[in-house]
């Protein structure tokens, strides 16, 4: 019940703060009215109501105690009169008090209206990042980022932002990274000072190595105690120096909108990590007239055309070839329409790096699957039989499997990527899509290249026969990877986003899963175990209202961020997690055997993950025998909410 009245010359509102008998004599407790926390006291038959914050260190007086007639601060022992907040004789610091009244139905307190919220530096910076397209933040609110969190709350209330509170900051950075990998747009991750921010690093290194745009926001201890051994004090600017392309500490005198402009622009243009550190006191500085920044006039087109001489030389080399092959990496993700048009013009087979799995369907007449360690024999066969490689947006790292001994044309927008690992015959600096279109347009009316579609189909037939034989493998210790991924190939919706982890489960996914039109996300060059489920949360935030989201991991990977299943339940994220459970770090065991070591310390003690899913509020399905697999996968995929399909798998049948 709220009543309007007056107290002196100040308009006040009466608020009921306790029922009769709620607070025993000689006790104090915290009560909350609107956004205000108050310390309610009961002493010598009277009630007092004080501001809850001690003026010295901010101690919560409602958690204190009344000792010998004085309310003692729980943090440093300073005393106050429990009824009016006055200090003992000889001291001057006091605590604001408010008029109380005992009525038949309880205790009431008269409070002035809450002050209007004023515009702050944090508001300026949140508005700026929203203008740059940041509509999603994953993070954890805490003592050193409250001012910035309040600005995010206001933005969310206005419909400008969505905030997802996670259980571990590492999940926040992986989710933001996956959002960037999938969309090319910015999401943010958010943490407190010290360990909260250092927990972001692994996911941010994944973004850096895989060229995904991410904005990281760190709270920081107050500037006056920085460098003096304060609680959770760490030099975050130094900590993030290696992982971030752009990192700055926000100062009181900074041009705040410009700092956020540069952070967002750097992350998007460089496809890298930007990081801002917000000291506690700077977050709440008044900025009533400061305008927010925006990308207006800040970013030009990056659709760079190839040099005319290089283009002419490239066309000559292609025209001279009879068996060219196209290889696409993750850098070609947004330009496949132009690349496939070129491939069809040349009748050239198309293979992908593992990071680019899914950029061409495996049933496409020119599709050859994945090259390299997680690849198919079709891709490697066709590459070995080719006389020219045309490579779009691939890094040539040791895992890609791109042959170094074949004549090679490399197309990339990044000049540092050209010939990075070894010299190529023709390095072409260009936007990938622009280059593919220019090459297709520059080819003569007739082509001299062989039509290799029949050969591709033959190699697929051989491989599918082998996969069918492996499908039948079962020794009673768990299901084979060939069977698991054959069923997943049938059951996962063809427009799904699939987030995969690291380990034998991922190698088997690359080898056996046949993509249709799914998008695949992974921790490519960092290879961080635990990526899949947090990445699925990021994918769900980006496109979950339009596309199904599926994540796949082993038991080792899922265990890293298993509690994020409760996050998915909290926000009703429709994610299906496929868990291959062999109670082992199977990839490490395989590596130990390959090096002729004993298998050591790779076993895992696991819970019943399906029961765990149910305890978290998700739906769990357990698969222990082959005949249970297809029904369980279909049930998990069609369940309208978070689900986990736990499959007992054989660590040797990969």
In the chain, residues under CATH classification 3.40.50.1220 are 308-454
User: Do the beta carbons of residue 564 and residue 618 sit within 8 Å?
Assistant: no
Cα dihedral 258, 264, 267, 273, rounded to 10, equals 80
Give which of 349, 217, 337, 317 is closest to 277, Cα–Cα: 217
- Residue 399 pLDDT exceeds 80: no
For 293-304, how does the pLDDT look when each residue is reduced to its tens digit (9 = 90+)? Answer: 999 999 988 889
Q: What is the mean pLDDT of residues 280-284?
A: 96
CA distance 114 to 69: 31
Per CATH, the number for 472-648 is 3.40.50.970
Domain 121-283 homologous superfamily, CATH: Thiamin diphosphate (ThDP)-binding fold, Pyr/PP domains (3.40.50.970)
pLDDT, tens digit, 9 for 90 and up, residues 480-521 = 999 999 999 999 999 999 999 999 999 999 999 999 999 999
- Residue 373 is predicted with a pLDDT of 82
pLDDT at 577 over 90: yes
In the chain, CATH 2.102.10.10 sits at 2-111
Q: For residue 7, is pLDDT > 50?
A: no
Residue 8 has pLDDT above 60, yes or no: no
Range(s) of the chain covered by CATH 3.40.50.970: 121-283, 472-648
Inform me whether the pLDDT recorded for 568 exceeds 90: yes
Q: What is the per-residue DSSP string for 285-318?
A: -B-TTPPP--STTT-----PPPPHHHHHHHHHHH
One-letter-per-residue 3-state SS of 139-194: ECCCCCCHHHHHHHHHHHHCCCCEEEECCCHHHHHHHHHHHHHHHCCCCEEEECCC
Sheet holding 70-72, edge to edge: 65-67, 70-72, 79-80
List the strands of the sheet with 2-7, edge to edge.
2-7, 10-18, 106-111, 100-103
| Whether the predicted pLDDT of 55 surpasses 70 | yes
Handedness of CA 76, 77, 83, 88 (dihedral sign): negative
pLDDT, tens digit, 9 for 90 and up, residues 180-224: 999 999 999 999 999 999 999 999 999 999 999 999 999 999 988
The mean per-residue pLDDT over the stretch 18-32 comes to: 93
Mean pLDDT of the chain, nearest integer: 94
Q: Is the pLDDT of residue 63 over 60?
A: yes
Over 50: is that where the pLDDT of 6 sits? Answer: no
Cβ neighbours for 443, distance < 8 A, ≥ 6 positions apart? 315, 318, 319, 345, 346
Long-range contacts of 365-372 (CB under 8 A, 24+ apart): 365/453, 365/456, 365/457, 366/340, 366/452, 366/453, 366/456, 367/456, 368/456, 368/459, 370/510, 370/511, 371/327, 371/400, 371/401, 371/402, 372/399, 372/400, 372/401, 372/402
Q: Span 308-454: which CATH code? A: 3.40.50.1220
pLDDT(27) > 80: yes
Asked if residues 535 and 178 have their Cβ atoms less than 8 Å apart, the reply is yes
The CATH topology of domain 2-111 is Rieske Iron-sulfur Protein (2.102.10)
1 pLDDT higher than 60: no
Q: What is the pLDDT averaged over residues 123-130?
A: 98
| CA-CA-CA-CA torsion sign (433, 306, 266, 210) | positive
**Which pTM value belongs to this model?**
0.92
pLDDT band at 10 (very low <50, low <70, confident <90, very high): low
């Amino acid at each position: 019940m709220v009543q309007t009245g007056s107290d002196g010359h100040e308009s006040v509102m009466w608020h009921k703060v306790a029922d009769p008998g709620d607070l025993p004599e000689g006790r104090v407790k915290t009560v909350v009215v609107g956004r205000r926390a108050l310390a309610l006291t009961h002493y010598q038959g009277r009630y007092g109501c004080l501001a809850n914050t001690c003026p010295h260190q901010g101690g919560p007086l409602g958690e204190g105690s009344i000792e010998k007639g004085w309310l003692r601060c729980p943090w440093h022992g300073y005393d106050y009169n429990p009824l009016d907040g006055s200090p003992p004789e000889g001291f001057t610091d006091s605590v604001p008090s408010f008029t109380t009244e005992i009525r038949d139905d309880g205790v009431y307190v008269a409070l002035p209206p809450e002050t209007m919220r004023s515009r702050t530096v944090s508001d300026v910076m949140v508005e700026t990042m929203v203008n740059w397209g940041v509509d999603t933040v994953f993070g954890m609110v805490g003592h050193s980022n409250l001012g910035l969190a309040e600005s995010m709350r206001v933005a969310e209330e206005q419909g400008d932002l969505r905030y997802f509170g996670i259980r571990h900051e590492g999940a926040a950075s992986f989710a933001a990274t996956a959002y960037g990998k999938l969309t090319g747009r910015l999401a943010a991750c958010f943490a407190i000072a010290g360990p909260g921010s250092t927990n972001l690093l692994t996911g941010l290194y994944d973004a850096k190595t895989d060229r995904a745009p991410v904005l990281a926001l760190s709270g920081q201890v107050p500037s006056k105690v920085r460098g003096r051994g304060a609680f959770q004090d760490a030099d975050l600017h130094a900590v993030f120096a290696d992982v971030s392309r752009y990192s700055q500490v926000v100062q009181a005198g900074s041009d705040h909108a410009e700092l956020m402009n540069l952070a967002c622009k750097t992350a998007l243009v460089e496809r890298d990590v930007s990081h801002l550190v917000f000291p506690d006191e700077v977050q709440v500085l008044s900025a009533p007239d400061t305008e927010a920044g925006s990308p207006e006039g800040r970013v030009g087109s990056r659709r760079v055309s190839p040099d005319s001489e290089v283009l002419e030389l490239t066309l000559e080399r292609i025209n001279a070839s009879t068996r060219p092959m196209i290889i696409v990496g993750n850098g070609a993700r947004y330009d496949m329409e132009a690349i496939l048009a070129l491939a069809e013009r040349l009748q050239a087979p198309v293979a992908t790096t593992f990071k680019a799995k899914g950029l061409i369907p495996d049933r496409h007449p020119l599709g050859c699957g994945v090259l390299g360690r997680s690849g198919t024999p079709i891709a490697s066969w066709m590459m070995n039989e080719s006389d020219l490689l045309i490579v779009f947006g691939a890094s040539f790292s040791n895992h890609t499997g791109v042959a170094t001994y074949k004549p090679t044309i490399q197309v990339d927008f990044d000049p540092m990527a050209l010939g990075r690992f070894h010299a190529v015959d023709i390095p072409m600096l260009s936007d990938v899509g622009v280059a593919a279109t220019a090459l297709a347009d520059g080819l003569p009316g007739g082509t001299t290249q062989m039509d290799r579609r029949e050969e591709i189909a033959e190699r697929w037939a051989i491989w599918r026969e082998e996969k069918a034989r492996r499908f039948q493998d079962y020794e009673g210790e768990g299901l084979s990877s060939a069977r698991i991924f054959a069923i997943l190939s049938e059951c996962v919706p063809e427009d799904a986003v699939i987030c995969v982890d690291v380990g034998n489960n991922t190698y088997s996914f690359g080898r056996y899963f046949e993509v249709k039109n799914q998008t695949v996300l992974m921790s490519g060059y960092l290879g961080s175990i635990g990526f899949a489920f947090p990445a699925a949360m990021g994918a769900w935030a980006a496109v979950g209202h339009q596309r199904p989201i599926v994540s796949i991991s082993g038991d080792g990977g899922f265990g890293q961020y298993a509690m994020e299943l409760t996050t998915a339940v909290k926000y009703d994220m429709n994610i299906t997690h496929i868990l291959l459970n062999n109670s082992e770090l199977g990839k490490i065991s395989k590596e130990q055997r390959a090096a002729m070591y004993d298998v050591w310390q790779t076993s895992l003690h696991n819970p019943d993950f399906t029961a765990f899913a149910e305890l978290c509020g998700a739906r769990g399905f357990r698969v222990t025998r082959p005949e249970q697999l297809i029904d369980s996968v279909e049930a998990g995929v069609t369940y309208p909410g978070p689900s986990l399909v736990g499959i007992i798998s054989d660590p040797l049948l990969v």
